[in-house]
């Protein structure tokens, strides 16, 4: 594969959409010191501006309580309070890290809920609609005024408010149907705008790029305020109906929970009988199968869907508030460089197409307890960092993207569309070239050579390279070689992080007749950052 960078290559300002935000787990985690420490590291080294997490209104955040929660005795229910202090402490930690919260308004406080259906995660959370929309609107307005008082009106106007999370996954994240969500959105958005019309609010926060067309039409036809569109996309997903190309628009589209959670459990129980090992992680991996290694999953689903969503959004900013290679929690490949190459390829393609205003990789840390807070340092979590903060290949992928110049050179639309792809950038320090060899399966194949030629008026002072490959930026391999230690102290964590860190080294080159020639031997899912100065 050959790539040529002419001296007069056209360019455009780089849209660093991946720095808009990053995902996180559950709001209660944001009260932890290790969470705050890792979040600051992500901001300081990757330049990410916001963080989004679920469940600010879950009952473990104690936003709406009465005295029956303390003592269930007759008459206790008349002593009631609304308390947003835990949310305030969480947002204080976010701001102290140099970031802003991307406010996901979820889920429903029990005291305001119309039913008792729960989120099917470790931390729970009511997923029904309000029993009284007037009470819900008052609750939302009180929350907004709390934020204004704590942080100032001008600061809150710089935040984004998103209504709910993946309401299209009926029975998992939302107990209602599409019309129920639209009603919830309308009441919530109007309540926010009644406090301050300058605050930005949007939705529908769906999985698989769904509901955007019907959502924007509903808002337009019913004069419901909406400032931006949000949706999600993963390539390999364990839930049915979320890998389509922009649809379906059916409000009751089937997913893994459509037949009820008990039915879902029955479907996966057989996997436990075939599981190897005896730890909780062994059981998790037996029932949450990594489809990306078993099926031929396309790598262009997000790029195609984003183009469609942009059209459906009707000119509104489009934020992909969750995206990644794999939404299968505990998948072994989440800790490998397969995720790194996917993030680089898709981030660059989306940037080239200019379809996404901002995006949010899911998620920044394995401090994440939707199913279980696993003790194993490498357990296939979604994070850029392990539970103890060791950078994974996906972290280094975003660091490479952070380190390139603000001017992207145009090499042609097909430069990033093949298995081996390239992108070039320019800064005051010179030219940078990102190379990747991306495949949706971690196949053991021979290395392939990419040749890069760059027209330069004189020989470069230096050519340096950083690699994500089998021996660089690969802490999983070192952890396995160390015997997969279950318990690691701070010294051991820091040592593993240092040994697996991506180093910078000289890259051999040839220069003649005004042309610099470089060669890169790429293994499957390797990523290289070449710096020419």
Q: Which residues are catalytic?
A: 166, 322
Q: What is the C-alpha to C-alpha distance for residues 430 and 406, in angstroms, rounded to an integer?
A: 11
Cis ω before 107 (30° cut-off from 0) = yes
- Which helix H or strand E contains 319, and what residues bound it? strand 318-326
Q: What is the C-alpha to C-alpha distance for residues 297 and 133, in angstroms, rounded to an integer?
A: 42
Q: Please name which of 239, 353, 245, 359 lies closest in space to residue 301, comparing C-alpha atoms.
A: 245
Q: Which residue has the tokens 């390139």?
A: 404
Report yes or no: 105 and 85 within 8 Å, Cβ to Cβ. no
Extract the tokens encoding 101. 């919260």
The DSSP line for 53-109 is EE-TTSGGG-SEEEGGGT---TTGGG-EEE--HHHHHHHHHHHHTT-EEEEEE--B-
Cβ within 8 Å of residue 200, ≥6 positions away: 157, 159, 160, 161, 227, 228
Counting Cα atoms < 13 Å in the Cβ hemisphere of 13 gives 2
Cβ within 8 Å of residue 514, ≥6 positions away: 7, 455, 456, 457
Distances (CA, A) of 524 to 39, 322, 339, 476, 503: 30, 25, 12, 16, 20
Q: What is the C-alpha to C-alpha distance for residues 414 and 512, in angstroms, rounded to an integer?
A: 27
Q: Please name which of 398, 394, 438, 448 lies closest in space to residue 415, comparing C-alpha atoms.
A: 438
Report yes or no: 53 and 22 within 8 Å, Cβ to Cβ. no
């Amino acid at each position: 594969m050959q790539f040529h960078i002419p001296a007069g290559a056209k360019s455009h300002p780089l849209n660093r959409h991946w720095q808009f935000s990053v995902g996180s787990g559950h709001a209660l985690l944001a009260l932890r010191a290790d969470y705050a420490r890792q979040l600051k590291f992500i901001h300081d080294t990757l330049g990410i501006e916001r963080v989004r997490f679920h469940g600010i209104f879950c009952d473990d955040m104690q936003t709406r309580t009465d005295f029956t929660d303390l003592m269930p005795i007759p008459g206790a229910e008349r002593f009631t309070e609304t308390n947003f202090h835990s949310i305030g402490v969480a947002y204080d930690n976010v701001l102290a890290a140099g970031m802003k919260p991307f406010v996901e308004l979820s889920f429903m406080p029990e005291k305001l809920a119309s039913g008792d259906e729960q989120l099917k995660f470790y931390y729970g959370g009511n997923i029904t609609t309000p029993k009284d929309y007037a009470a819900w609107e008052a609750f939302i307005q009180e929350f907004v005024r709390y934020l204004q008082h704590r942080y100032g009106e001008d600061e809150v106007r710089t935040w984004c408010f998103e209504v709910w999370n993946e309401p299209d996954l009926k029975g998992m994240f939302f107990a209602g149907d599409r019309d129920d969500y639209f009603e919830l959105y309308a009441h919530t958005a109007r309540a926010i705008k009644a406090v301050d019309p300058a605050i930005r609010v949007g939705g529908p926060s769906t999985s698989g790029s769904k509901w955007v067309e019907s959502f924007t039409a509903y808002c337009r036809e019913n004069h419901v305020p909406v400032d931006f569109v949000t949706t999600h996309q993963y390539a390999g997903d364990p839930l049915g109906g979320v890998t389509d190309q922009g649809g379906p628009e059916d409000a009751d589209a089937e997913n893994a929970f459509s037949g009820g959670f008990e039915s879902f459990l029955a479907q996966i129980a057989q996997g436990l009988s075939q599981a190897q090992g005896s730890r909780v992680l062994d059981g998790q991996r037996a029932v949450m199968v990594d489809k990306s290694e078993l099926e031929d999953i396309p790598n262009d689903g997000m790029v195609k869907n984003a183009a469609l969503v942009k059209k459906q959004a009707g000119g509104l900013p489009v934020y992909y508030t969750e995206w990644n290679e794999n939404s299968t929690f505990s998948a072994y490949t989440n800790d490998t460089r397969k995720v790194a190459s996917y993030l680089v390829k898709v981030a660059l393609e989306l940037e080239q197409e200019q379809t996404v205003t901002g995006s949010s990789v899911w998620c920044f840390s394995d401090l994440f307890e939707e199913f279980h807070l696993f003790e194993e340092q490498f357990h296939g979590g979604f994070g850029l960092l392990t539970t103890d903060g060791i950078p994974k290949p996906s972290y280094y992928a975003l660091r490479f993207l952070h380190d390139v110049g603000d001017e992207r050179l145009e090499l042609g639309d097909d430069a990033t569309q093949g298995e081996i792809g390239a992108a070039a950038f320019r800064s005051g320090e010179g030219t940078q070239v990102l190379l990747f060899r991306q495949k949706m399966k971690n196949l053991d194949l021979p290395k392939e050579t990419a040749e890069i030629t760059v027209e330069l008026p004189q020989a470069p002072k230096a050519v340096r390279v950083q690699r994500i490959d089998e021996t660089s930026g690969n802490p999983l391999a070192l952890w396995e070689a160390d015997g997969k230690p279950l318990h690691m102290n701070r010294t051991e964590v820091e040592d593993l992080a240092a040994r697996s860190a991506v180093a910078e080294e000289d890259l051999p080159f040839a220069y003649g007749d005004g042309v610099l020639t470089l060669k890169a031997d790429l293994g499957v899912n390797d990523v290289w950052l070449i710096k020419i100065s």
